[in-house]
Chains A and B, each alone.
Chain A
Amino acid sequence: MTDAPAPLGKDLIGLEGLTAEQIRTILDTAEPFKEISERRIKKVPVLRGKTIVNLFFEASTRTRISFEFAEKRLSADTVNISSSGSSVVKGETLVDTARNLEAMRIDMVVIRHGSSGAARFLSERIPSNVINAGDGWHEHPTQGLLDLLTIRDHAGRIEGLRVCIIGDILHSRVARSNIHGLLALGAEVGVCGPRTLLPPAPDELGVKVFTRVEEAIEWADALNVLRLQLERMQSGYVPSLREYNRIWGVTNARLEAAPKELLVLHPGPMNRGVEIDSDVADGPHSVILNQVTNGVAVRMAVLYLLAGGQPEKAEAAKQGAEG
C-alpha cells in the first residue's frame, strides 16, 4: 500500500502554514476525483451519512455551487444557509448560529464570511470540521488550491514557475492564498497593480513587485488576473474603470508582446473590459473554465481528507490488512 495521505487536521482555514507535502496531498487526491464528475452517475458513497452546512454570510455563486456539487458527488447531505433569510438578520451572533447547527448534529461547516478570521474563530469554538470558503481579506484556500491544480495541469509543474497576480492584491483573499500556496510549492511569485492596491510590505511576503503590467507579462509563465471589485472605485483606490483597463488591463495586444506562451487564470466573476479583455478571457491562453472544473475536484479532495481526518488512524491503516 502507498503511504497514507499527509493529515490535514480538523479544519482548512488557509494555505498559510500548510506544508508543501500537505498541499501536494490535496492536489494529488483531487486528480482521481476529476474522473467522478465525468461519469454517467456522478456520485460515490464515501461521505454517506455526513451532514454538511454551507454557511454563506456573503454573496457567492461559483464557490457555493462548487462546494455543493462536491458534497453531493460524495453523497453527503447538505444544507445551505445565507445571511439573508436566516436568523443572522435578526442579530444572532456567528457562534450562536453555529452552536444551534451543532445541536442538530452536523459534521462539517463550510463558511464564507466578510470578516477576516471568521473561519478560524468558528473552528476554535465548534468540534465540526470547518472549511474556509473565503473570509474577508484573509484567505480563500480552496480557490488557491484550484489555481495551483490548474497551473500544474497545464504547465506540468509548479516548482520554478513564475506566476504573477495582477490587480487588487491588498484586499484579495485569493491573492493571499495563491501567494502562500505557490511559495510553499517553490514557485516564484510576482504581484502587479496600482500602488494603492498593493500590500504595504510585499517584500515580507516574499513576492516580486511589478509596477507595469507589460513587465509582469514579460516575466511571468502564468498570470492570475484578479477581479477589480467595483466598490474600490467608490472608495478612491482607482480613478476610473476605463483608466484601470488602459493601464492594468490584460489585453491581447499585451499578451502578443510576451516572449512566451502564457497561462491566464481568473477566479471569476470577470469584469470583461476592465481587468481582462473578452478576447483574452475566451482566447487560447485562458484556462478560466478549467479552473471552475478543477474547483469541484479540489473541494471533493478537501472534504474527503478532512472527513476522515484522523492522523493516528490513517497511520494504522497503512499497516492494516488488505482484503
Chain B
Amino acid sequence: MPDEHRIRVMDEADVRRALARMAREIVERNGGTDGLMLMGIHRRGTQIAAMLREEIERAEGVEVESGSIDITLYRDDLGTVGPRPIIGGSELPRSGIDGQVVVIVDDVAYTGRTVRAALNELGDWGRPRRILLCVLVDRGQRELPIQPDITGRWVHVTRDQRVDVLVPELDGDLAVDIIEIQPEAA
C-alpha cells in the first residue's frame, strides 16, 4: 500500500462558514428562491446539497426542492475502466425540472467530466430555465471548458494529490483534507 499523508485544509467551522456564504450566493444569483432546485451529485454532492438546502431554508424561511443525480450511466469511460457500481439511482424532484433554476452541487470540481455527465443527464430529464454549478472545493486541472459559478474554496494541488471532502453521514466528520500519495518505494 502506498503511504498516505493527510493535511486538513478546512475544518468543520471553515466548511460551515463556506456553506453559509454559498447558500446566500445561490439565493442572490437567483434573485430569491423562486424556481430554485438543488441537485446533488452522488454521493458527497448530495450531502453538500442537503446542507446548503438547510442553510437556504433557515435564512429564507421557505422550502427548497432538491434531488440527486447518479451520473454512472452517463460517464464516458465504461469502455476503458469497466462498469462501476450504480449507487443510488437518480432522484428527480416531484415537480420535474422544466423551467426551473437547477443548481448542480458537487463536493470537488476537478476534470469537469462528472459535471458534463450531469448536464447530459439533466438534458434528458427536461429543460431547466438555467443551470448553475456550485462546488465546495475547486481543485482546478479541468479537462473540459466547465467552470463553477459558486465555489467554497480554491485549493492548489498537484495531480498526484487527492482532495477528500468528509461529510457527517458517510465519514462521521465535516472537513476537507488533501491527501499526499507517496509512490511506493520501488
A contact set with B: CB distance below 8 Å: 1-5, 7, 28-29, 31-33, 35-36, 39-41, 43-47, 74, 304-305, 307-311, 313-314, 316-317, 320-323
In the complex, A14 Cα to B88 Cα: how many Å?
28
Contact yes or no, A310 B82, CB < 8 A = yes
Cβ contacts under 8 Å, B126 to chain A: 40
B83 / chain A contacts, CB cutoff of 8 Å:
4-5, 29, 304-305, 307-309, 314
Give, as a whole number of angstroms, the nearest-CB distance from A164 to chain B: 33
Chain B residues within CB distance 8 Å of chain A: 70, 72-75, 77-90, 108-111, 113-114, 120-121, 124-126, 139, 162
* Residue ID in chain A nearest B112 by CB atoms: A323
Taking the nearest CB of chain B, how far is it from the CB of A153, in angstroms? 15
Q: For the complex, what is the distance from the CA of A3 to the CA of B113, rounded to whole Å?
A: 21
Chain A residues near B139: list those with CB within 8 A.
Answer: 323
A308 touches B79 (CB 8 A): yes
Complex CA–CA separation, A4 to B113 (angstroms): 20
- Taking A2-B85, A314-B82 as known contacts, 7 extra A-B pairs with beta carbons closer than 8 A to each other, sorted by chain A number, are A32-B88, A44-B73, A45-B73, A310-B82, A313-B80, A322-B110, A323-B113
Nearest Cβ in chain A — how far from B23, in angstroms?
Answer: 23
For A41, the chain B residues whose CB sits under 8 A away are 124-125
What are 26 A-B contacts defined by CB distance under 8 Å?
Answer: A1-B85, A2-B85, A2-B87, A5-B83, A5-B84, A5-B85, A29-B83, A32-B86, A35-B89, A36-B73, A39-B125, A40-B125, A44-B74, A46-B74, A47-B78, A307-B78, A309-B82, A309-B83, A311-B82, A314-B84, A316-B81, A321-B110, A321-B162, A323-B111, A323-B113, A323-B139
Shortest beta-carbon distance from B158 to chain A in Å? 12
In the bound complex, CA of A322 to CA of B164 (Å) = 10
Q: How far is the CB of A104 from chain B (nearest CB, A)?
A: 19
In the complex, which residues of chain B have a beta carbon less than 8 angstroms from the beta carbon of A40? Answer: 125-126
| Distance, CA A281 to CA B87, complexed state (A) | 35
Q: How far is the CA of A35 from the CA of B86 in the complex (A)?
A: 12
B79: which A residues are within 8 A, CB to CB? Answer: 308
Q: In the complex, are the beta carbons of B88 and A43 less than 8 A apart?
A: no
Residues of B within 8 A of A47 (CB): 78
State whether A35 touches B82 (Cβ < 8 A). Answer: no
